[in-house]
Structure 1
Amino acid sequence: MLTSLSIKDLAVVAALDLDLRPGFTVLTGETGAGKSILLTALGLALGDRADSGLVRPGAERGEVSLCFTLDDAPSAREWLIGHELAETDEDTCLIRRTISADGRSRAFINGRPATLPNLQALGRHLVEIHGQHAHLNLLQAGEQRALLDRHAGCRELASELKLIFDRWKALSERIDRLQQDVSSRNARQELLQYQVNELEQLEIETLDYRALSEEHELLANLGRVSEIGYTQLKLLYEDEQYSVNGLLARSAQAVGELAQISKDFTESLELLESARIQVKEAAMALRHHLDALDPDPAKFAALEQKLAEVHQLARKHQVRPEDLPGHLEALRTELRSMESGEERLEHLLAEQSDLLAAYDAAARSLSAKRRVAADALETDISRLIHELGMPHGRFAVAFETDSEAPPAPHGRDRIEFLVSANPGLPPRPLSRVASGGELSRISLAIEVASIAQKTTPTLIYDEVDTGIGGGVAEMVGIKLRSLGINRQVLCVTHLPQIAALGHHHLLVEKHAQDGITESTVRPLTMEERTGEIARMLGGLRITVQTLAHAREMLALAH
């Protein structure tokens, strides 16, 4: 329940601190006094779009604060807990919204920053606002269906159905895209297969480009390698007189004689012997490699052909020759992915079928609940509109289910509210037969009929008395008062018949000082209520009879 409303520097309100009570509260005042600013402030605090023009001239910012108790709003408490915005030891919720003169706005829930979607989501658990033209929503098929679902107590089932539909639709769009891409996918798959085959024929998978290049380089320079190699072999070992090995042998022999004279030369001798061994090993390795050289022109030609093909493929695929094996594996991976596309499509089609089956089951269950609720709603609304000044009115729900229709977010039911305002005439769509006053009464009748299904603790009505008066207005007031038994109901009204039936009465007044207009709101005592209702009854001139009539209305109401 909304327990307090504070406004600062918003439009015509400089400062307002208003305490609110449970039950049916009416707000009255002269036309233009500023009654609408209260609803504007509520809307801002609950996530409506901010407008810097609402900030009071000369002020840096406007501010709205709402305080709610949560003992009658368990769903709001759960939402706050789920979003980690609940006060630990408090059963209250404080919402604050500020709007600066430059258009920026900030929102807070229990002192912590909040987004506008958060305000809107929380607000749906706390307050339901019916604007001056809210009854016009009844002309919309979606609103009529939502009202029936609320009356049927199947809003959760309707939400579940929509979730299934959303999944089915997203999956169907994905399948459509896959199926539309079949031709281009097939062309790509053929190209990939050709490229993979081409690379595999050249055995690119086992290609060692570095080794291949080195072998080609060796064969290309075989003559020079042999010439240099055998020359160095002779120089190192095979020239008995002038080879390195021979020179080292003679040197080692001479140093050996020195080592016999003095051990100081032993280390030099050992190094010379080691050098002879290494020279011998180098010569043996050199001979081995030289003997292994194969001046095979056919092999050289094959290597040249292989390298030419490798370079051609590298240019064709726009990669370096040494990267061709990795490129082949990437092509194979893409090809395997495309080959599994058909399997994936089959899997998606099976999933789509399962979702459609789940959708059909939920839609049938929802239709059944709606049909039962439609019969009860027809009876309840017809009875209530009789009480609200339409004694011959009849309310009906046209219900049609097309089981062959494609899935829709709301199911396969077509629902339309019908009304007959005069005897002997068949019910027709609301948009064709109902006047503004009749729509207001039908809307109120639906609210009264659906009150048991409502969980929102605070209901706000802005001039729901449009187009009515006299005894009908009194009956509307009675119904609003009955709503206030189990809910907090606030109603902006111009009709004394409704104002007299409020449990509480707030007066909106406008004052002008130094050329600046300011609106205030204050609760009225019973005597003050008498004067206000007399004003609403009699206009500018209030007589003794008018005051007596106002007292009588209040006495009868209470």
Structure 2
Amino acid sequence: MLSSLTIRDVVLIEALTLDFAPGLGVLTGETGAGKSILLDSLGLALGARSDAGLVRSGATQASVTASFEIGADHAARRLMTENDLESDDLLILRRQVKADGGSRGYINDQPVSATLLRDVGATLIEIHGQHDDRGLLNARGHRALLDAFGRLDVASVTAAYTGWREAETALATARETLEAGLRDREWLSHAVSELDALKPLPGEEAELAEARSSMMKGQRLAEDMSSVTQLLDGSDGGFAQLRQAARRLERLSGEHELLNEALVALDRTLTEAGEVEDKLAAAAEAMAYDPARLDSVEARLFELRGLARKHRVEPDALADLAAELGARAEAIGAGEERVEKLAVAVGKARAAFEAAAAALSTARAKAAVALDKAVAGELAPLKLDAARFRTVVEPLGEGQWSPSGADRVEFEISTNPGSPFAPLIKIASGGELSRFILALKVALAETKTAGTMIFDEIDRGVGGAVASAIGERLARLAQGTQVLVVTHSPQVAARGDHQWRIAKSSSGEVTRTDVRPLSDAERQEEIARMLSGATVTDEARAQAGKLLARSEA
């Protein structure tokens, strides 16, 4: 609901703040007083195109601030969240327009684009004027309005559509994976066989490289190793000589302490000599040069490294690669079975959507009949008794099916007997268009599309009983939502719960437009002016009182 509107330096408005309340609010005033300025100002706050011509002469910039009270589940809150903006129960839209034409928009003092300002504004207010091409005139919204009018179950269709599309996506992904696998099947089979035949082990490449290196070292050091062995081993070798010396010294060790100490030292030398023998033997074994063994190690190492290069992995990763490729090969068979199951699931999901959409189509056809009847009942009192209204529900091609079903919905009218039906937006007469919109709005009152609706001179060109019928329907509409109407009709004005008078005044060369709320007495005087013209008569005041009393009854 619109709670307040503040305007600064817009055309003839210098400074103005208006507070609004629920119900039917009417804005009246003489022709040319500046009602269009008020609506243009509100349009600015709602994201309409800015124009430097709106800035009051002599001012550097114009600004408009509109405040709205909204609920926690309001569509504007969702838009704010989607755009990472904070919001609460009070939503403040502000627009500034500079004299050079530049503009800036804000929502709750957070800078936003004019596009977002317009999108948020569209969820807050519907403005219906003589040349408005939005709201009910936009066929894109007719399907949702019919669904809301008939309280139709669109959610089940949306769920079925989502399930169908998700099943199709899963099937497409599985087919793509399977096709890729089938293209690689021959290569996979060869690769798996090759890896299985080689049976690579983690760490094997390093072990083979070390063994190969040792054997090649052994080949290179064989002659030196042999000469060392000859010096140490044999009956005349160093080890044998040390043992003989130890045996002879042992016989002499009792003769003197130093001889005993020398024996102890020689024993330690023999112990370490034994370790030398062991190390030499182990080294000889490790570096033993066996041409057949070396050829075998080199062949295995060559195969490991060659296969690793082929698959562009490290040799140690070949074992994991074998497992991975084996799993992929097995998955091809499982993928064929999965594709078959998913294809069946897609068929079932599609059938479920088609059934739900068909049921919704039937319900829409019934709701369309009810809506046509409801609108028809509103036409005659609004001097549209020659007109006909119909709700067209037609099937869409499969390519146009959506979460909302498989139907196209559009409101059409025929304004004269025998004339063909046409979209609402093609109505030639602005007055007829406004009254048609009102008839539709009354019929669709339960849908509550926006918290505030504004009708701009909906009563133009009519009077008497038709104006009374318009006022009565606006009042009914205002029982469920806030309605503001710019009117020249006393019958409509008398129906208002609140009334403001728009007036223009001049002081020297300065002209200003002002808007002020009216008391009950002032309302009667204003309605009397609307009835009688420039000179307000007692008869007009009495008639105004009757209109107000009748409206309150």
- Bin for the TM-score computed over the shorter chain: 0.7 to 0.9
Deviation at 1:517, TM superposition (A): 6.9
2:154 to 152, 158, 181: 158
Structure 1 position 208, deviation (Å)? 0.8
State the 1:329 CA deviation: 4.5
Is the partner of 1:391 in helix, strand or coil?
A: coil
Q: Which residue of 2 aligns with 1:219?
A: 215
1:272-297 C-alpha deviation (Å, 9 max, x unpaired): 65554343134124325535766543
Residue 172 of structure 1 and its aligned partner are, at CA, apart by: 2.8
User: Is the 8 Å Cα contact of residues 25 and 489 (structure 1) preserved in structure 2?
Assistant: yes
1:433-477: CA deviation from partner (whole Å, max 9, x where unpaired): 844433332221121122234385533334444675664344222
Q: Spell out, residue by residue over 1:77-136, the C-alpha distance to the aligned partner (whole angstroms, 9 max, x if none).
A: 9979x989787xxxxx3222344667554422xx99999999889878765544554576
Aligned residue for 1:556?
Answer: 547
Residue 384 of structure 1 and its aligned partner are, at CA, apart by: 0.7
SS of the equivalent of 2:514 reads strand
Q: Distance in 2 between matches of 1:479 and 1:403?
A: 39
Per the alignment, residue 66 of structure 1 pairs with 67
* Residue 27 of structure 1, CA deviation: 2.0
CA distance in 2, matches of 1:223, 1:444: 107
Corresponding residue of 1:4: 4
**Are residues 103 and 442 of structure 1, via their aligned partners in 2, closer, same or farther at CA, if it must alter by over 3 Å?**
closer
- RMSD value, Cα: 4.9
| Separation (CA, whole Å) in 1 of partners of 2:508 and 2:327 | 81
Aligned to 2:436: 442
Letter in 2 for 1:28: T
Closer/same/farther in 2, CA of residues 225 and 391 from structure 1, 3 Å limit? same
Q: Which residue of 1 aligns with 2:187?
A: 191
Residues in 1 aligned to 2:253 and 2:505: alpha-carbon distance in whole angstroms: 132
Aligned-residue offset at 1:209: 0.6
Looking at structure 2, the residues matched to 4 and 139 of structure 1 have their Cα atoms a distance apart, in angstroms, of 27
Q: Secondary structure at the match of 2:389?
A: strand
Q: How does 1:322-341 map to 2 (within 5 A)?
A: 322-332=316-326, 340-341=334-335
Deviates more, 1:523-532 or 1:442-451: 523-532
What stretches of structure 1 of length at least 5 have no aligned partner?
88-92
Question: Residue type of the partner of 1:210?
Answer: A
Shift of 1:152: 0.6
**CA 472–190 in structure 1, closer or farther in 2 if over 3 Å, else same:** farther
Match of residue 242, structure 1, among 238, 242, 248: 238
CA distance in 2, matches of 1:226, 1:235: 14
Change (3 A) 1:214 1:409: same
Q: Structure 1's 283 and 143: CA in aligned 2 closer, same or farther, altered over 3 A?
A: same
SS of equivalent to 2:158: helix
Question: How big is the shift at 1:389?
Answer: 0.7
Q: In the superposition, relative to structure 1, how do residues 247 and 147 fare at CA in structure 2: closer, same or farther (>3 Å)?
A: same
Partner of 1:381: 375
> Alpha-carbon deviations, 1:277-336, whole Å to 9, x = none?
343134124325535766543433333333333333333333444444444445446556
What is the alpha-carbon distance in structure 1 between the residues aligned to residue 310 and residue 121 of structure 2?
A: 64
- Does the CA-based 8 Å contact 1:44-1:97 persist in structure 2? no
2-structure distance, mates of 1:334, 1:463? 73
Matched AA of 2:387: G
CA contact under 8 A between 1:234 and 1:243: conserved in structure 2?
Answer: no
Distance across 2 between alignment mates of 1:340 and 1:357: 26
1:220-269: CA deviation from partner (whole Å, max 9, x where unpaired): 34433433333344455557553499299759969x95998489x97x98
1:479 CA drift (Å): 1.0
Q: 1:542 aligns with which of 518, 524, 534?
A: 534
Give per-residue Cα distances to partners, 1:37-72, cap 9 Å, x unaligned: 6556656666x478596787856784625153x7xx
Give yes or no for contact 2:215–2:286 (8 Å, CA) kept in 1.
no
SS of aligned partner of 2:165: helix
> Which stretch shows the higher mean deviation, 2-11 or 488-497?
2-11
How far is 1:535 from its partner?
6.6
Alignment match of 2:421 (pick from 416, 425, 428): 428
Aligned equivalents of 1:401, 1:314: Cα separation in 2: 61
Q: Pick from 142, 146, 149 the counterpart of residue 148 of structure 1.
A: 146
The answer on whether the counterparts of 2:45 and 2:95 sit within 8 Å (CA) in structure 1 is no
CA apart distance, 1:407: 3.7
Aligned CA distance change for structure 1 residues 178 and 127 (closer, same or farther; 3 Å): same
Gaps of 5+ in 2: none
For residues 316 and 104 of structure 1, the distance between their equivalents in structure 2, rounded to whole angstroms, comes to 62
SS state at 2:404 partner: coil
**Residue aligned with 1:204, SS:** coil
Following the alignment from structure 1 to structure 2, what is the Cα–Cα distance between the partners of residues 457 and 443?
17
Asked if the contact 2:35–2:502 (Cα under 8 Å) also holds between the matched residues in 1, the reply is yes
- CA change 1:544–1:321 in 2 (3 A) is closer
Distance 1:131 1:238 in 2: 123
Structure-2 separation of matches of 1:262 and 1:9: 123
> Using the alignment, how far apart are the partners of 1:197 and 1:464 within structure 2?
84
Q: Is the 8 A contact 2:391 2:409 kept in 1?
A: yes
Match of 1:17, SS? strand
Q: How does 1:55-454 map to 2 (within 5 A)?
A: 62=63, 64-68=65-69, 75-76=73-74, 93-99=89-95, 103-108=103-108, 127-130=125-128, 132-134=130-132, 138=136, 140-154=138-152, 157-169=153-165, 171-173=167-169, 175-176=171-172, 179=175, 183-205=179-201, 208-235=204-231, 240=236, 242-243=238-239, 246=242, 261=257, 273=267, 276-288=270-282, 290=284, 295-332=289-326, 340-346=334-340, 348-400=342-394, 407-423=401-417, 425=418, 428-430=421-423, 434-436=427-429, 437-454=431-448
Alignment-mate amino acid for residue 542 of structure 1: A
Deviation (angstroms), 1:417: 3.4
Q: Please say which of residues 490-499 and 526-535 is displaced more in the overlay.
A: 526-535
Q: TM-score under structure 1 normalisation?
A: 0.75
3-state SS of the aligned residue for 1:459?
strand
Residue in structure 2 matched with residue 90 of structure 1 by the alignment = none
Q: Cα 1:348–1:33, aligned 2, differ >3 Å: closer, same or farther?
A: farther
Find the aligned partners of 1:139 and 1:97 in 2 and give their Cα distance: 25
Shift of the 241–411 alpha-carbon distance from structure 1 to 2, 3 Å rule, reads closer
TM-score, structure 2 normalization = 0.76
Question: Any residues of structure 2 matched to 1:490-509 within 5 Å, and which?
Answer: 490-509=484-503
Once the two structures are aligned, what percentage of the paired residues are identical? 32
Moved more, 312-321 or 113-122: 113-122
Deviation string 1:323-369 (CA, Å, 9 cap, x unpaired) is: 44444445446556666544554454354345334423432443343
